[in-house]
């Protein structure tokens, strides 16, 4: 697969790959000498080592760039690769069809589920339709309506999160962006069927959380999930969005950080060199994760499931409880 | 090869300055002006008139000229809304910590201490129980003076406990929100998760048939608007408060067009169906007690 969007820190990988390509092209016609074969083998090993090296040590800002990579698999790709069938349901029954959130029946192995997933779009036209993955109130309303239908017909729910954030526009405000996200938070906490949420790219703030309340929350390895975009945070606290890399580091929002903070249950490993290098292998890992996830949740009765979900979020937060009367905050 | 470069979209709306800008009646921002005895007169943000401070305070921090609603501190709000000496404060031993070791231009731990000193508040939330015109209730508020009234772990925990108490005691709950900051950046993802936590508690209150009255004051934005503040059985708002999801600057930068003049005001939200009643501060007590009487037997 030829990748056209190259991130600056991936450069050494591409350089070696080009070198390998040249060498292979030179010897396409002839049988390579043992020395050349050795060189090719070494180059391949070196490329793998580099990929591992680079992608195991991404900093927070590099992670953001990987999560936003233009060729990273999106909801539509996974619908193709993970699910055996997808029956899209478009109606929010109120205003319109938000293309930034796809909802519908889906089949994964022999399990029938309700699928909710945010879509950013790939072509310019599709991106414009999807507002670059920034949903409107009608998207959240559609998602909730489908989850409530799932509850009625006892279907488990899958939510794929991939958004820079809910759309900040005039129409979005007029149609109740805040209210619709809030309502989803409240109602998702009491949908009596299993909900699995996976951050597949960007987990942008309230726009992500609006479909992010569930029994099992996971992130793909090279994604982020944050209270605010690094650019937004930098603009406010560092006075300029060019300090996004500093904000990214301070916000502690990579999959590793969130696992440590106890906010997510799992980090799903990406293929060597990240998901944009191998959609199929990423999809296969994701599929087996989902199948296992539903299996482990399927034994729970609705009440147990809801209590478990309540307690999961109830525990979130870090603070001190002290009888002291002075105003002292202890640094971590 | 060009690297992918998307225009960043920010979603938590916060006014551009990180230092909370306070209305002139707030304790910290006191500019001394030559020739004017300090603190006797204040300039109204609404009509720009110079008004006698005592007169403003007598009218619950509302401008006597144009009815502009000034900022009211949490303590003052309790005095204005609840019956005298009826408020019993809860959860006073909860303290914020710095779970991420967050440092921007100053460390979060330091910022917390500075804010406590500046505002005299422990945190951005005050909660407890009290009486309003003789009606018992659980009462909580967020004070927009403390780190923009933003919600971190402690604010989320205090609100959640208050809602759980209201459910358990079968009392109505009133939450007065003032938050320009939404979810608090300095506690990162933990702040975002407070939105889920508080909303889940409200789901249980809702199922138990409890009454929640949400009162929106200037400003109620971002993660606060996108969680508990929007989930009241009734939503009341003070006049001309800034209420919305994304900050007006962020919206303006995204849509690249002029915003409607009343954009994201209480009146705008009422017009679009997201606020039940816009209520003058002087009428809040009577309005709240009246709706309680309709809902609680």
Q: pLDDT for A159-178, tens place per residue?
A: 999 999 999 999 999 999 99
- Residues in chain B closer than 8 A to A170 (CB atoms): 251, 255, 257, 259-260, 263
* Preceding peptide of A234 cis, ω within 30°: no
- Residues in chain A closer than 8 A to B204 (CB atoms): 310
CA angle B99/B105/B109 to nearest 5° reads: 30
Residue B37 reports pLDDT greater than 90: no
Which pLDDT does position A28 carry in this prediction? 83
Residues A104 and A234 in one domain: yes
8 Å CB contact between B23 and A26: no
**Residues 152-211, chain B: which have Cβ within 8 Å of A?**
152-154, 156-157, 160, 182-185, 187-197, 199-204, 206-207
Residue B217 reports pLDDT greater than 80: yes
Mean pLDDT within A115-127: 97
Which pLDDT does position B228 carry in this prediction? 98
**Number of domains forming the structure of chain A:** 2
8 Å CB contact between A210 and A178: no
- Look at residue A258 and tell me if it is in a domain: yes
Per-residue model confidence as pLDDT tens digits over B137-185? 999 999 999 999 999 999 999 999 999 999 999 999 999 999 998 999 9
- Do the chains contact at B254 and A168, CB–CB below 8 Å? yes
Per-residue model confidence as pLDDT tens digits over A6-45? 999 999 999 999 999 999 998 888 888 899 999 999 999 9
CA-based nearest residue in chain B for residue A323 = B93
- Look at residue A325 and tell me if it is in a domain: no
8 Å CB contact between B220 and B177: yes
Domains of chain B plus CATH, in order, are 74-295 (3.90.226.10)
Which pLDDT does position B23 carry in this prediction? 44
Q: How far is Cα B96 from Cα B112, in angstroms, rounded to an integer?
A: 8
In A132-242, where do the E strands start and end?
Answer: 157-163, 195-204, 216-220, 224-226
Q: What is the CATH number of the domain that holds A299?
A: 3.90.226.10
Give A212's pLDDT tier (boundaries 50, 70, 90).
very high
Closest CA–CA distance from residue B22 to any residue of chain A (Å): 16
- Look at residue A135 and tell me if it is in a domain: yes
Q: How far is Cα B13 from Cα B252, in angstroms, rounded to an integer?
A: 12
State whether residue A263 is helix, strand or coil: coil
Residue B3 reports pLDDT greater than 70: no
- Do the chains contact at B113 and A328, CB–CB below 8 Å? yes
- Residues in chain B closer than 8 A to A164 (CB atoms): 6, 8-9, 11
A-interface mutation test, from B1, B5, B7, B12, most A Cβ less than 10 A away: B12
Closest CA–CA distance from residue B179 to any residue of chain A (Å): 13
- Number of CB pairs < 8 Å for A and B? 293
Q: How far is Cα A99 from Cα A114, in angstroms, rounded to an integer?
A: 17
Mean pLDDT within A307-324: 92
CA atoms B285, B290, B291, B293: torsion sign: positive
Residue B243, phi-psi category: left (phi > 0), alpha (psi -120 to 50), beta (remainder): beta
- Look at residue A233 and tell me if it is in a domain: yes
- Do the chains contact at B197 and A314, CB–CB below 8 Å? yes
- Look at residue A331 and tell me if it is in a domain: no
- Facing A165 at nearest CB: one of B11, B109, B231: B11
Q: What is the maximum alpha-carbon separation in chain A?
A: 83
Residue A105 reports pLDDT greater than 90: yes
Mean pLDDT within B12-40: 49
Mean pLDDT within A281-287: 98
- Residues in chain B closer than 8 A to A318 (CB atoms): 97, 99, 153, 187, 190
* Contacting residues for A205 by C-beta, under 8 A, at least 6 apart: A165, A166, A226, A227, A228, A229, B11, B12, B183, B192, B223
Using a CB–CB cutoff of 8 Å, tell me whether B18 touches chain A.
Answer: yes
The closest of B235, B234, B172 to B205, measured between CA atoms, is: B172
Mean pLDDT within A304-325: 91
- Look at residue A114 and tell me if it is in a domain: yes
Residues A225 and A111 in one domain: yes
Residues A95 and A158 in one domain: yes
Residues A25 and A125 in one domain: no
State the pairing for strand pair A195-204/B212-220: unpaired
Quick one: which H or E segment has residue A303?
helix A302-314
- Do the chains contact at B4 and A332, CB–CB below 8 Å? no
8 Å CB contact between B166 and B140: no
- Facing B189 at nearest CB: one of A227, A230, A313: A227
Residues A178 and A307 in one domain: yes
- Do the chains contact at A8 and B244, CB–CB below 8 Å? no
Q: What value does the mean pLDDT of chain A take? A: 95
Closest CA–CA distance from residue A133 to any residue of chain B (Å): 10
Give A323's pLDDT tier (boundaries 50, 70, 90).
low
Produce one character per residue of B22-48: b if its CB has 16 or more CB atoms within 10 Å, e if not.
bbbbbeeeeeeeeeeeeeebbebebee
8 Å CB contact between A162 and B37: no
Closest CA–CA distance from residue B139 to any residue of chain A (Å): 20
- Residues in chain A closer than 8 A to B266 (CB atoms): none
Residues A106 and A131 in one domain: yes
**Residues 120-139, chain B: which have Cβ within 8 Å of A?**
122
Per-residue model confidence as pLDDT tens digits over B87-108? 999 999 999 999 999 999 899 9
- Look at residue A50 and tell me if it is in a domain: yes
Residues A194 and A77 in one domain: yes
Which pLDDT does position B293 carry in this prediction? 98
Residues A49 and A74 in one domain: no
Residues A184 and A53 in one domain: no
Q: How far is Cα A68 from Cα A63, in angstroms, rounded to an integer?
A: 9
In this structure, chain B runs to a length of: 297
Which pLDDT does position B35 carry in this prediction? 52
Residue B29 reports pLDDT greater than 60: no
* Contacting residues for B231 by C-beta, under 8 A, at least 6 apart: A182, A183, A186, B199, B202, B212, B214
Which pLDDT does position A329 carry in this prediction? 44
Q: How far is Cα A106 from Cα A134, in angstroms, rounded to an integer?
A: 23
Q: How far is Cα A265 from Cα A258, in angstroms, rounded to an integer?
A: 9
Residue A198 reports pLDDT greater than 80: yes
Per-residue model confidence as pLDDT tens digits over B246-261? 999 999 999 998 999 9
8 Å CB contact between A282 and A271: yes
Residues A97 and A169 in one domain: yes
As separate numbers, helices (DSSP H) first and strands (DSSP E) second, chain B gives 9, 10
Q: How far is Cα B231 from Cα B206, in angstroms, rounded to an integer?
A: 10
Per-residue model confidence as pLDDT tens digits over A237-269? 999 999 999 999 999 999 999 999 999 999 999
- Residues in chain B closer than 8 A to A209 (CB atoms): 192-193, 195-196
- Look at residue A332 and tell me if it is in a domain: no
Residues A22 and A132 in one domain: no
Q: How far is Cα B133 from Cα B31, in angstroms, rounded to an integer?
A: 38
Per-residue model confidence as pLDDT tens digits over B118-134? 999 999 999 999 999 99
Crossing angle for the helix pair A302-314 and B188-207, to the nearest 10 degrees:
140
Produce one character per residue of B220-252: b if its CB has 16 or more CB atoms within 10 Å, e if not.
bbbbbbbbbbbbbbbbbbbbbbbbbbbbbbbbb
State whether residue B25 is helix, strand or coil: coil
Q: How far is Cα A25 from Cα B115, in angstroms, rounded to an integer?
A: 66
- Facing A327 at nearest CB: one of B122, B152, B254: B122
Give me the domain span that covers residue A224.
70-319
8 Å CB contact between B192 and A206: yes
CA-based nearest residue in chain B for residue A230 = B10
In chain A, where do the E strands start and end?
Answer: 85-88, 101-108, 111-118, 157-163, 195-204, 216-220, 224-226, 266-268, 319-321
Residues A154 and A190 in one domain: yes
Q: What value does the mean pLDDT of chain B take? A: 90
The closest of B190, B178, B177 to B232, measured between CA atoms, is: B177
Half-sphere exposure of A100 (CA within 13 A, CB side): 25
State the pairing for strand pair A157-163/A195-204: parallel
- Residues in chain A closer than 8 A to B97 (CB atoms): 318-320, 329-332
- pTM listed for this prediction: 0.92
Q: What is the DSSP letter of B243?
A: B
Produce one character per residue of B272-286: b if its CB has 16 or more CB atoms within 10 Å, e if not.
eebbbebbebeebbe
- Residues in chain B closer than 8 A to A118 (CB atoms): none
């Amino acid at each position: 697969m030829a990748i056209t969007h190259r991130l600056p820190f991936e450069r050494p990988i591409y350089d070696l790959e080009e070198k390998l390509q040249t060498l292979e092209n030179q010897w396409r016609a002839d049988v390579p000498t043992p020395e050349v074969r050795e060189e090719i083998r070494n180059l391949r090993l070196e490329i793998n080592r580099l990929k591992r090296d680079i992608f195991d040590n991404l900093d927070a800002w590099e992670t953001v760039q990987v999560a936003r990579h233009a060729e990273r698999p999106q909801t539509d790709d996974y619908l193709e690769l993970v699910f055996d069938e997808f029956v899209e349901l478009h109606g929010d029954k109120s205003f319109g069809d938000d293309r930034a959130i796809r909802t519908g029946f889906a089949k994964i192995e022999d399990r029938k589920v309700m699928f909710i997933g945010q879509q950013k779009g790939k072509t310019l036209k599709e991106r414009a339709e999807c507002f670059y993955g920034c949903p409107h109130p009608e998207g959240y309303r559609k998602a909730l309506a489908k989850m409530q239908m799932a509850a009625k017909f006892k279907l488990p729910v899958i939510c794929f999160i991939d958004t820079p954030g809910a759309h900040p526009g005039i129409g979005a405000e007029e149609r109740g962006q805040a209210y619709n996200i809030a309502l989803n938070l409240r109602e998702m906490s009491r949908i009596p069927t299993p909900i699995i949420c996976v951050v597949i790219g960007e987990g942008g703030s309230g726009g992500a959380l609006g479909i992010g309340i569930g029994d099992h929350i996971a992130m793909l390895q090279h994604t982020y999930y944050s209270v605010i975009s690094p650019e937004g945070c930098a603009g406010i606290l560092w006075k300029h969005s060019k300090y996004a890399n500093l904000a990214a580091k301070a916000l502690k929002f990579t999959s590793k950080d969130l696992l440590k903070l106890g906010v997510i249950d799992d980090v799903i490993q990406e293929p060597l060199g990240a998901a944009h290098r191998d959609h199929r292998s990423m999809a296969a890992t994701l599929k087996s994760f989902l199948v296992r996830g539903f299996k482990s949740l399927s034994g729970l009765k609705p009440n147990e499931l809801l209590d478990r979900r309540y307690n999961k979020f109830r525990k979130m937060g870090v603070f001190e409880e002290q009888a002291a009367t002075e105003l002292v905050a202890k640094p971590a | 090869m060009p690297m992918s470069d998307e225009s960043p979209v920010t979603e938590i709306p916060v006014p551009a300055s990180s230092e909370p800008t306070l209305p002139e009646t707030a304790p910290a921002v006191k500019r001394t002006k030559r020739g004017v005895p300090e603190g006797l007169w204040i300039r109204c943000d609404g009509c720009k008139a110079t008004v006698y401070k005592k007169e403003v305070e007598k009218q619950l921090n509302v401008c006597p000229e144009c009815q502009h609603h000034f900022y009211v501190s949490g303590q003052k709000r309790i005095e204005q809304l609840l019956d005298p000496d009826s408020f019993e404060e809860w959860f006073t031993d909860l303290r914020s910590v710095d779970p991420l070791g967050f440092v921007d231009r100053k460390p979060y731990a330091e910022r917390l201490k500075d804010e406590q000193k500046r505002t005299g508040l422990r945190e951005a939330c005050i909660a407890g129980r009290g009486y309003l015109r003789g009606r018992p209730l659980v009462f909580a508020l967020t004070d927009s003076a403390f780190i923009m009234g933003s919600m971190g772990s402690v604010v989320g925990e205090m609100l959640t406990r208050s809602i759980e108490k209201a459910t358990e005691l079968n009392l109505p709950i009133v939450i007065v929100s003032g938050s320009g900051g939404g979810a608090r950046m300095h506690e990162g993802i933990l702040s975002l998760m407070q939105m889920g936590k508080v909303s889940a508690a409200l789901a249980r209150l809702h199922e138990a048939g409890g009454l929640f009255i949400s009162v929106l004051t200037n400003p109620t934005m971002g993660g606060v608007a996108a969680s508990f503040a929007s989930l009241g059985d009734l939503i009341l708002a003070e006049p001309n408060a800034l209420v919305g999801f994304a900050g007006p600057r962020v919206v303006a930068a995204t849509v690249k067009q002029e915003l409607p003049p009343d954009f994201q005001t209480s009146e705008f939200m009422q017009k679009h169906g997201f606020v039940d009643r816009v209520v003058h501060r002087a009428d809040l007590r009577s309005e709240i007690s009246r709706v309680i009487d309709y809902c609680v037997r």
